[in-house]
């Protein structure tokens, strides 16, 4: 049984994401994925973390794997997204790595925004670390998780309509641009640095 992350400050990202959207996103969408996941897993015994379950999805009967993976991805992707919202500063270590892999922070930002605008349908744009320990920006559809592709998620942007439609309607472009005003780069840096310590 996995427990919920806690969010109480729904208005923390106004005016870029409204309190109303945050409330629904967390209480309805995220918690629904978590409830579905816990229900699906309730009849099994396992001692895996959520990330390990992605890697070991074949322990479940084949007819249940898609449904488990969809809800597991829904939980993992939302927990990362909510984690990377905020206003913290980037560490020198991550800043240097971004300069190394993208040229500069501005180039990274341009590439992230470009990829987000290219995503068709529901999904996420992710900053990930690949097998060579280099940063990449990728899009995933629906609730796919980069963990399935042996990539380590560092940061993401939720591009499902439920994440922005109440605030932006069809102006997805504005939602994507505004995301860069509400990224907690201190938390993104922390994830990056933890991975470096364990390599
Ligand atoms: Fe979402």
Distance CA(62)–CA(5), nearest Å, equals 29
Q: Which helix (H) or strand (E) holds 178?
A: helix 172-179
Q: How far is the CA of 44 from the centre of ligand 1 (A)?
A: 27
Q: Which two tokens stand for residue 54?
A: 């992605």
Nearest to 127 by CA among 92, 102, 162: 102
Mean pLDDT of 141-158: 98
Structure letter (DSSP) for residue 156: E
Distance CA(137)–CA(111), nearest Å, equals 8
Q: How far is the CA of 25 from the centre of ligand 1 (A)?
A: 6
Distance CA(148)–CA(63), nearest Å, equals 18
Predicted confidence (pLDDT) per residue in 155-185, tens digit: 999 999 999 999 999 999 999 999 999 999 9
What's the sign of the alpha-carbon dihedral 147, 96, 81, 143?
A: negative
- The pLDDT value recorded for residue 41 is 97
- The pLDDT value recorded for residue 192 is 98
Q: How far is the CA of 116 from the centre of ligand 1 (A)?
A: 15
Average pLDDT, the chain: 97
pLDDT at 3 over 90: yes
Q: How far is the CA of 143 from the centre of ligand 1 (A)?
A: 9
- The pLDDT value recorded for residue 90 is 98
Q: How far is the CA of 23 from the centre of ligand 1 (A)?
A: 11
Q: Which helix (H) or strand (E) holds 123?
A: strand 123-129
Residue 198: exposure state from Cβ atoms within 10 A (0-12, 13-18, ≥19): exposed
Q: How far is the CA of 128 from the centre of ligand 1 (A)?
A: 18
The β-bridge partners of 183 are 85
- The pLDDT value recorded for residue 178 is 98
Q: What domains sit in the chain, N to C, each tagged with a CATH number?
A: 18-83 (1.10.287.990), 92-197 (3.55.40.20)
- The pLDDT value recorded for residue 5 is 97
Mean pLDDT of 87-111: 98
Q: How far is the CA of 164 from the centre of ligand 1 (A)?
A: 9
pLDDT at 46 over 90: no
Contacts of 3 (CB under 8 A, 6+ apart): none
Mean pLDDT of 132-139: 98
Q: How far is the CA of 30 from the centre of ligand 1 (A)?
A: 7
pLDDT at 199 over 90: no
Q: How far is the CA of 158 from the centre of ligand 1 (A)?
A: 6
Quote the pTM value.
0.97
């Amino acid at each position: 049984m996995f427990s919920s992350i806690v969010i109480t400050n729904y208005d923390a990202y106004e005016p870029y994401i409204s309190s109303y959207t945050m409330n629904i996103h967390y209480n309805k969408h995220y918690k629904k994925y978590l409830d579905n996941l816990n229900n699906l897993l309730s009849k099994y015994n396992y001692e895996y973390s959520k990330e390990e379950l992605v890697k070991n999805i074949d322990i479940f009967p084949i007819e249940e794997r898609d449904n488990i993976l969809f809800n597991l991805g829904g939980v993992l992707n939302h927990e990362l997204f909510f984690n990377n919202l905020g206003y913290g500063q980037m560490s020198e270590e991550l800043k240097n790595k971004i300069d190394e892999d993208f040229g500069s922070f501005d180039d990274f930002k341009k590439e992230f925004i470009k990829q987000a605008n290219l995503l068709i349908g529901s999904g996420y744009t992710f900053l990930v670390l690949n097998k060579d320990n280099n940063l990449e920006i990728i899009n995933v559809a629906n609730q796919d998780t980069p963990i399935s592709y042996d990539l380590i998620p560092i940061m993401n942007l939720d591009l499902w309509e439920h994440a922005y439609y109440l605030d932006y309607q069809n102006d997805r472009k504005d939602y994507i641009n505004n995301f860069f005003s509400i990224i907690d780069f201190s938390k993104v840096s922390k994830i990056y640095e933890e991975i470096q310590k364990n390599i």
